[in-house]
Amino acid sequence: MHPLTAFFNARFGRHSAARALLLPLAALSLLSLSACAVTTAGAVYGLVEGSSLNQTGKTASDHLISTITGEDCNILRYQKTGTYCLSSAQLAEMAAAEKRDNAGYCYRHLAQVVCYTEPDPDASGETLVH
């Protein structure tokens, strides 16, 4: 499902009046433009989206939806992970995981932390750090 479809379904429901008005109004606005204006509008839209993506890593639409929802929304993340918007808590959790020095299975052992790429079968759950 496209992230914008998921966004509108979450905000307005699948069959709400606001959603029912949105598509016809968008179609009507496109039909009211001449063919040259449609291509010009499309070119301007592409330029704005592309410039925003190049400078910030997010499209202008991503910035707009992030402002509306209060979450961090990103189409590139959606293409990689399937998650379009993340809350502040989810972003903090991801940042903490990236900054973690020790990767893998880490255990307390003789006043230090020892890490392995695979779980240690001899270690207990009490010594597991992360």
List pLDDT tens digits, range 36-91. Answer: 655 787 788 888 888 888 888 898 889 999 999 999 999 899 999 899 999 989 98
Integer CA distances (angstroms), 77 to 6, 31, 68, 111, in order? 15, 33, 18, 39
- What is the C-alpha separation between 68 and 62, in angstroms, rounded? 10
- Verdict on whether the full-model pTM lies above 0.85: no
- What is the C-alpha separation between 56 and 47, in angstroms, rounded? 14
Q: Is 11 helix (H, G, I), strand (E, B) or coil?
A: helix
